[in-house]
Chain A
Amino acid sequence: MLSNFLKTSYSDFFKTIIILGLLAGVFLNESIAQTQILFLGDSLSEGQGLDEELSFPRLVERNLKSKNFNVAVTNGGVSGSTSASGVTRLKWHLKKKIDVLVLELGANDGLRGLKLEETQKNLIEIIKHAKEKKVKVLLLGLLMPPNYGKKYVDDFEKMYSTIAKSEKVPFLPFVLNDVAGKSELNLPDGIHPNAKGHEIVAKTVTNFVEKNL
């Protein structure tokens, strides 16, 4: 009788566990699907010269989904944008729920030779604003081409690591690693990656985002 009772109880218990497990799975799945990632960037994020579906933020979304991460990516890339527009644009995107902000700004500041103190201030402001809204920030770093002069190039590189350190945000030092300077991976303008280049950038960024989700 006891054994029957135990059998029945164990059976019900396991059934309950399975049901609870399934419910938890559904719940967890729901939670992951709600992970909204915003890429706030410039022409690189926008995928200049390409169909937006081939831009690296879209490819990152595809890669993460193939790894069973239920994420939804918003591509907030705007060609030619500088860090000065960052906070306004972030506020626009925060009208809906955002969980993770992948910040890819500053390249146009550098290409236009703007003062790096200003760029640094703008980027910090964006990060602070995101944090206030409980958004996790991941920072993508960029480098300037050597023709901008050694000092500027060095200062530009340092700026990102300084921000990452002071704001304590995960940081990818160079988003165009293995792509920059290679003509076969860039459009004829020599700056923007082509479709193959975006695939490589997406791979680098996917690994970085995956580690920090």
Chain B
Amino acid sequence: MSFLRFFWRDFKSDKSFNWFFILCASLGIIGLLLVESFKIGVEEKIAKNAKNFIASDLAVSTRRALDQNEINKILNYLETNKFTYAKWIETYSLVTKKNTDNNKTEAFSKLADLNFVTPEFPFYGGVVLQDVGRKGPGTWQDLHTKPTVWMSRDLSWELDIKIGDELKVGELYFVVGGIITEDQFSSFRGFNLAPKIFLSHNFLPQTDLIKFGSTATFSYTIKLPENVEVKKIQSELREIITDKSVKITGAEQASEQIARSLNLLSDYLGLITLLTYLLSLVGLYYFTQYFLSKKLKTFSIYKAMGLKTSALFKFNFLHLIVLTISSVVVSTSLVVVFLPMIKGYFSQLVGEELLFSLNTKAIARILSLSLGGSLLALGPLFWGALQTPVATIFQDLPAELKRIKFYFFLPLLVYVIFLAIFLSNSFKVGLLFISALVIIVLIAGIIFKTFTLFLDRFSGHFDFINKQAARTLSRYFTSSFTIFICLLLGMTLTTFIFQLEGSLRQEFTQTYGDRRPDLFLFDLQDTQAQKFESLVLEQKWNRTTFSPMIRGRLLKINGIPVQKREEPGETQTTFETREDQNSERMRNRGVNLSYRSTLSWSESIVEGKFNGEICDIRINPCEISLEKSYAGRIGANIGDQLLFDISGIEIQGVVSSFRSVKWASFEPNFFILFQPGVLEEAPKTFLSSIKVKSFEEKRAVFSKMAQNFPSVSLIEVSELVRKITTVFDLMASAIKFISFLSLFVALVVLVAVSFNHLNLRRREMGLFYMLGLKSDLIKSIYSREFSILISLCFVLALIFGSGLTALIMNVIFSSETVFKFSTVVPVIFALSLTLYFIVALRVKNLVKLKNLF
């Protein structure tokens, strides 16, 4: 008989196992697919936003005017390839409201960020104009027919200008045609020095602003056809324009920058993916164990027929592969069919467009992950089953599955560690998570052993049902321990998912909601500080921060100079990319320092001790608190001596603590904090932030500050904060959805594990029946056994799950844990109760059978 024919016959004979396997595996894989599709959806949304930021698929930009030769090369390339493009020139200039006052009072000028664009602009994204609505691609014609500007609302307030008024830009007067209330091009880009204005490139020559010596960013924004690979075009353009100061930026790079700011949540989703999968693997393990225990005699018969163990292993190996692939196909089909239906429902639920998206790469990734898991977790079980001796055929009693040595599962452990690292994008998160799970299993083992010893010793004092239940637990230790660990891990992971979800939601959306500032003020001088404070009091503004900022330069760490030297002539090679350039500047431009007697609400000490007392530099160097990641970047440790140059005077300090800073708080924070007593007299400016109660108050702050402190820069951050928090809200809602999905998977898997456990006890139930015990009593014994197990798991899962959450929140997210027992306890209790009732029903059915074998 050919290999395939034999395999097919054997495969068909295991119909019920095949269906159960596919059902259980599909549940886990559906979880994976949904998590994966959500991750891709978010990435795609971010990528789409990134296209909005650069208004195109690709942008060629430079801070210098391109020479004619370079322009010809670029245009020639774009026209040869028939790519559509737009020109975008960004520059700063002073703009003046046209003076209609006959008294000839001096016109008021303000600095503006001018954006001259050609009619093709934008290819993606847009602006929202007050009383008009969104102006997306193809709707910017009004700007190009006559000299018109669309200006930011802040600027219109500062200049006291309205639609129809005239504005002088350079040497030309423009009519204000729109007030911008929302601008997609500026989101996530950081703060602009001045409010934005959009104008037509057609009128740029008449403004007479761009000539030799002008500072501007000259860009070509390019729209590529759908099937064109951005990276290929980037490299082709790079071959034409070799000067590295000309940036060729794809939306993907922009999206990477944004994605970094969301990487914590993305990593968390990766971890959930692993948990969902591990849960389904536990279920699969139990189904397979049950299946194999029933098939041992069949294996012995095959062997008696002359089949070698290795050949049998090949059949079963193929069996696993076919089942896993079938599960992936079934679950993918289900997800593809049902996803569009649930998409609308969940989008409605969270009030944001939830994007689920799958691609072949993701499906291939899930297939390989599932195959790897199935083979490594279930392979040893098959191998153990195939070792059953031929003589088993002649036994009256069912054959028992050979116990598998733990080292057979080492490849699985390595695989899971690898997955944890891969999915969480971090060695630290992955290893920490797996180590924590291993420690939980060890501690749980000790607790369970002690617990069963206690039951065994004192069972004599219990009534009959409790005594039998207690003795079954202690005397079938291995079997009880396995089910206990599975139940515990399932419930612990569920607790962890819900606790972490609560903490992360709090971290990103709720905690700061009422504290985040709306306005940032900087460059407030020492001499203006008092006057500003008086104005704040007089106007009753909610000033949330007022921090001194001192410029300094880090010279030495423990006597060793830290600055990187750049020799003359090396400039072009040193600054190769925008990122390199920024990092180089970070290193050389000096640092901003501050001093505080107490930490702000958005800071917390993670190592060492913060000293807010006044120091005397004549006795000891002052103590310094460093932001943890900054300390890592400069390689500083607690106790290190740092030497700073503060405006020509050298000041030494010793690092005494590391701080974590909640950057999502949007509060002004500093990498370096000195103890008070040394920097007070140093030249400094102040940073401040204000939280406003209403739109009118915001307008009043702008107006008052412009009148009283024209040199102080005021930036509105509320819109930026709102956009970022919307993304966080979206992610947090998604986390909640995925948590419920994991809960569902956990329930199904735990039921599967329990059923399997009960099936293995069928013989014992039969024996009880033979000994004359009534059905109700037998039911009670097994239900009690499960209720003891479930209760113990319930308590331990809450402790371990919450502990794991605290560990991950503290070590990985550097944040406090917000325990949500009011949510978690009912969820786990409901899970336990559901499990108990399902198990009780199953016991009832099994007892009804009354058979020994």
Contacts of B64 in A (CB 8 A): 183, 188, 190
When the two chains form their complex, are residues A113 and B683 in contact, meaning their CB atoms are under 8 A apart? no
Q: Given A118-B710, A187-B575, A48–B214 Cβ distance below 8 Å?
A: no
| CB interface residues, B 85-110, toward A, < 8 Å | 91-94, 109-110
CA–CA, A90 and B53, complex, Å: 42
Which residues on B sit within 8 Å (CB–CB) of A150?
Answer: 170-171, 208
Do A51 and B564 contact each other (CB < 8 Å), given the known contacts A88-B526, A181-B212? yes
Does the CB pair B647–A48 fall under 8 Å? no
Separation of A87 and B527 alpha carbons in the complex (Å): 10
B64, chain A: closest CB distance, angstroms: 4
Q: Mark B189-205, 1 if CB is under 8 A from A, else 0.
A: 00001100000000000
Chain B window 211-223, contacts with chain A (Cβ cutoff 8 Å), 1 for yes, 0 for no: 1111110000000
Question: A195 contacts the other chain (Cβ, under 8 Å)?
Answer: yes
When C-beta atoms are compared, the residue in chain B nearest to A59 turns out to be B568
A148 adjacent to B92 (CB under 8 Å):
yes
Q: What residues of chain A lie closer than 8 Å to B467, measured between beta carbons?
A: none
- Does A92 lie within 8 Å of B569, measured CB to CB? no
Q: Digit string of A69-94 for contact with B (CB within 8 Å is 1, else 0)?
A: 00000111011111011011100110
Q: Are B93 and A49 closer than 8 Å at their CB atoms? A: no
Are A46 and B681 in contact, CB atoms less than 8 angstroms apart? no
Contacts of A25 in B (CB 8 A): none
Which A residues, 31 to 86, have Cβ-Cβ distances below 8 Å to chain B? Answer: 38, 43, 46-54, 74-76, 78-82, 84-85
- The CB with the most chain A CB atoms within 10 A, among B566, B684, B710, is that of B566
List of A residues within 8 angstroms of B63 by Cβ: 188-190
Cross-interface CB contact of A50 among B109, B171, B588, cutoff 8 Å: B588
B76 to chain A, nearest CB (A): 22
- Beta-carbon contact of B685 and A85 below 8 Å: yes
Q: Which residues of B contact A48 (CB under 8 A)?
A: 585, 588-589
Report whether B553 and A92 are in contact in the complex, using a CB–CB cutoff of 8 Å.
no
- A188 partner residues in chain B, CB cutoff 8 A: 62-64, 245, 575, 581
Are A118 and B711 touching (Cβ within 8 A)? yes
Q: Quick one: CB contact mask for B444-461 with A, threshold 8 Å, 1 for yes?
A: 000000000000000000
| B 507-535 binary contact with A (CB < 8 Å = 1; else 0) | 00000000000000001011110000000
Known A85-B685, A147-B91: A183·B245 in contact at CB below 8 Å: yes
The residue from B92, B209, B566, B647 contacting A78, defined by CB atoms under 8 A apart: B647
On chain A, the residues within 8 Å of B239 by CB distance are none
Distance to closest chain B CB from A158 (angstroms): 16
Contact A51 B563 (CB under 8 A): yes
Q: Are A114 and B711 in contact (CB under 8 A)?
A: yes
The interface residues of chain B lying within 8 Å CB-to-CB of A38 are 648
**A-B contact count, CB below 8 Å?**
156
- Note all chain B residues with C-beta closer than 8 A to A187: 571, 575, 581
The answer to whether the Cβ of A194 comes within 8 Å of any Cβ in the partner chain is yes
Q: Residue on A with the closest CB to B567?
A: A195
Q: A50-B566, A188-B245 are in contact. Are A146 and B647 (CB under 8 A)?
A: no
* Cα distance A46–B588 in the bound complex, in angstroms: 10
A204 to chain B: closest CB distance in Å?
Answer: 16
B93 touches A149 (CB 8 A): yes
Interface string of A101-136 (1 = CB under 8 A from B): 000000001011111001000000000000000000
Point out the residues of chain A lying under 8 angstroms from B685, CB to CB.
85
Cβ contacts under 8 Å, A53 to chain B: 563, 565
A172 within 8 A of B: no
Q: Report if B210 contacts A (CB, 8 A).
A: yes
Q: Does B613 contact A (CB under 8 A)?
A: no
Does A209 make an interface contact (CB < 8 A)? no
User: Across the two chains, which residue of chain B brings its CB closest to A112?
Assistant: B111
Q: How far is the CA of A80 from the CA of B685 in the complex (A)?
A: 11
> A163 near B: Cβ within 8 Å?
no
B contacts with A, residue count (CB < 8 A) = 60
Residue of chain A at shortest CB distance from B194 = A113
Q: Does B677 contact A (CB under 8 A)?
A: no
- Which A residues touch B213, using CB under 8 A? 143, 145-146, 180-181
Q: Does B226 contact A (CB under 8 A)?
A: no
Are the CB atoms of B648 and A93 closer together than 8 Å? yes
Q: How many whole Å from A188's CB to the nearest CB in chain B?
A: 4
Contacting A at CB under 8 A, from B617-654, are 645, 647-649
| A80 CA / B713 CA spacing, docked (Å) | 12
Complex: A95 Cα to B646 Cα, angstroms? 13
Q: B569 near A196 (CB under 8 angstroms)?
A: yes
Contact in complex: A52, B570 (CB < 8 Å): no
The interface residues of chain B lying within 8 Å CB-to-CB of A52 are 553, 563, 588, 645
Interface of B is mostly: loop
What is the distance, in angstroms, from A150's C-beta to the closest C-beta of chain B? 7
In the complex, whether B584 has a CB less than 8 A from a CB of chain A is yes
Contact of A208 with B by CB under 8 A: no
Given the known A-B contacts A79-B589, A183-B64, are A114 and B710 also in contact in the complex, defined by CB atoms under 8 Å? yes
CB neighbors of A among B710-747 (8 A): 710-711, 713
Q: Is B240 an interface residue (CB 8 A)?
A: no
Interface pair A148/B683, CB less than 8 Å apart: no
Q: Measured between alpha carbons, how far is A181 from B212 in the docked complex, in Å?
A: 7
Most buried by A among B93, B208, B570: B93
**Given A92-B683, A111-B92, A79 and B590 contact (CB-CB distance below 8 Å):** yes
Q: Which residues of A contact B684 (CB under 8 A)?
A: 88
Contacts of B563 in A (CB 8 A): 51-53
Contact assessment for A88 and B570 in the assembled complex, using a CB-CB cutoff below 8 Å: no
Report yes or no: B711 in contact with A89, Cβ–Cβ below 8 A: no
Q: A190 — which chain B residues lie within 8 A by C-beta? A: 63-64, 215
* Nearest CB in chain A to that of B563: its residue: A51
Q: Which residues of B contact A46 (CB under 8 A)?
A: 589-590
**B109 A195 Cβ-Cβ under 8 A:** no
A43 to chain B, nearest CB (A): 8
Q: Are A78 and B683 touching (Cβ within 8 A)?
A: yes
Contacts of A148 in B (CB 8 A): 92-94
Interchain nearest-CB distance for B62 vs A (Å): 8
Closest to B527 in A: A88
Whether B565 lies near A51 (C-beta < 8 A) is yes
Q: Which A residue's beta carbon lies closest to that of B551?
A: A78
Q: Which residue of B lies closest to A122 (CB)?
A: B711
Contact B647–A113 (Cβ < 8 Å): no
Residues of B within 8 A of A93 (CB): 647-648
Which residue of the partner chain B has the closest CB to A79?
B589
Nearest neighbor of B110 in chain A, beta-carbon distance: A113
Give Cα A38–Cα B114 distance, bound, in whole angstroms: 37
Complex Cα distance, B92 from A117, in Å, reads 20
In the assembled complex, the Cα of A118 lies from the Cα of B93 at a distance in Å of 18
Residues of B within 8 A of A54 (CB): 565-566, 568
Q: Do B525 and A84 touch (CB < 8 A)?
A: yes
The answer to the question of B682 belonging to the interface, with a C-beta cut-off of 8 Å to chain A, is yes
With a cutoff of 8 Å between Cβ atoms, the chain A residues found around residue B528 in the complex are 84
Which residues, 42 to 66 on B, are CB-close (under 8 Å) to A? 62-64
Indicate if the CB atoms of A195 and B566 lie closer than 8 Å.
Answer: yes
Which residues 551-605 of B sit at the A interface, judged by CB distance below 8 A? 551, 553, 563-571, 575, 581, 584-585, 588-590
Taking CB atoms, residues of chain B closer than 8 Å to A84 are: 523, 525, 527-528, 711
Give B residues with C-beta under 8 Å from A: 62-64, 91-94, 109-111, 114, 170-171, 193-194, 208-216, 245, 523, 525-528, 551, 553, 563-571, 575, 581, 584-585, 588-590, 645, 647-649, 681-685, 710-711, 713
A-B contact pairs, 17 of them (CB 8 A): A49-B575, A50-B588, A51-B564, A52-B588, A84-B523, A85-B683, A88-B525, A88-B526, A88-B527, A96-B649, A112-B194, A145-B213, A146-B208, A146-B209, A146-B212, A147-B210, A199-B568
User: Which A residues fall within an 8 A CB radius of B?
Assistant: 38, 43, 46-54, 74-76, 78-82, 84-85, 87-89, 92-93, 95-96, 109, 111-115, 118, 143, 145-150, 152, 180-181, 183, 187-191, 194-196, 199
Closest 7 CB pairs of A and B: A113-B111, A89-B683, A194-B571, A190-B63, A74-B648, A195-B568, A147-B214
Further 8 A-B residue pairs, CB within 8 A, beyond A118-B711, A195-B568: A48-B585, A75-B648, A78-B647, A146-B214, A149-B170, A150-B208, A188-B245, A196-B569
